[in-house]
Chains A and B, each alone.
Chain A
């Protein structure tokens, strides 16, 4: 049963005690957890913000951190808008979430200048009295993930679902300095932010303008001990001349399938480190962590992971735990959980010799360096080209980004183009895609094919990788 008067993030930070530990983003002075818990910009507005919905759309991570700490337990709902998400969706997200307020900052400045502006007129209800009585709100945390139509999906969490996998640190253990290659507005980064906040641990985050090399040097100087990121982010670290500037005791991979090659390469670069790959997603929450240095998941971990029930049904992993999201916020979305409370991750698992291996996504979703690409979205653009009859977008495996986008295209004309004619048409279709899509969604190649398999229900047959 959910607690009726939950402890807010701010109160938890104050309770953790280590208020001088700081967040460092490389620009301006680091700010301590204590300062962030008492940030003046919000304190004076709390009565107005009480019970409202707020869109947190700052560029800097420190400003976002301040807003999240200040707003949890005060507002009814807050939406975490990641900086890499196109601003053209801001309106759609604000409307879907019924946001009353937006929190922004001065681009380029990361020295905490949150701007709190009203975007919806007051709705005539005042929360001042409730606030005066010290009543806390259980704030809904809304995270954004990509949807099939190109519009982001809004995923509902609470502080307790987000922090379900976090155990409070044993005070006798070695001092920890956390860092993450993720942005804290993404699920993977938010996990590390909350972990550091609830345990009063120093946290080193990347600055908006900072290169990976500069970030690694700074992280090294700050003495980070624990760092998380996607396999693609870690590959980028390994390719950097500054990879040796950090000496982590714990390296965590999540957000994409970790293959044996990246696990081995991290082990050889950081031989002292414990290297773990975690399975977690915005919808399914933190599911499990694999620590044996091998890719895939031991079968017994699927059967026996504390607090998380898992099963493989129709080939995909389904998860039930208190850490999953509760629902999608958008009206037109499918239910996030089934009738039994399980979240279908959509990840296809194959059992081989006592271990489960990921074999791609059932719906064909392509993971390009941790960014999801829905084939339908790319197909819709390709299909608008006047010469294209139909198309199928699928994964091309990549040793650098895990996956890349590739397209099979059936042309309207009966004969296949050849030679320079085919090349010119490929270029034209790709130009068409570049004009409409983010670069990571643009296919790296177009194959002209004579037909595509269609199921009896009239849907394109998608084969997972």
Chain B
């Protein structure tokens, strides 16, 4: 679903960008948005529950928009995807969207 979207949107160069370190980009956006919104971030490990990360729903929504700009996909717009619970799950959603 994710890749189809990439291709149909004609954003070919973004396919290449997906091979960039997904995890590093996700973490960078978490930090960026937390700083902008004045939120205190918990140490970002794969096991960290998103709920305990220090970000609220608005922050997540902004992170997802920024990552859509980076990767060209929003994996959470798929109808059949279950919501991620940990940071590792969250990163996995983007990695799966690339495959």
Contacts and interface: CB of A to CB of B under 8 A. Distances in A.
A236 interface: yes
Interface in B51-79: 51, 57-58, 60-62, 64-65, 74, 76-79
A241 B51 contact: yes
A388 interface: no
Interface stretch (A82-90, A130-138, A261-269): A261-269
B82 A369 contact: no
B61 A400 contact: yes
A396 interface: yes
A344 B79 CA distance: 31
A265 B83 contact: yes
Q: What size tier do the contact residues of chain B reach?
A: 20 to 34
Q: What size tier do the contact residues of chain A reach?
A: 20 to 34
A398 interface: yes
B51 to A, nearest CB: 5
A109 B38 CA distance: 26
Given A241-B85, A265-B82, A369-B57, A444 B51 contact: no
Contacts of A108: none
A255 to B, nearest CB: 14
A448 interface: no
A213 B83 contact: no
A401 B57 contact: yes
Interface string B74-95: 1011111111110000000000
Interface in A32-59: none
A122 interface: no
Given A239-B60, A239-B83, 10 more contacts: A212-B51, A232-B57, A236-B57, A241-B49, A260-B79, A265-B83, A368-B58, A396-B65, A399-B76, A439-B37
11 contacts: A211-B51, A238-B82, A241-B85, A261-B78, A368-B58, A369-B58, A398-B61, A400-B60, A400-B76, A404-B65, A439-B58
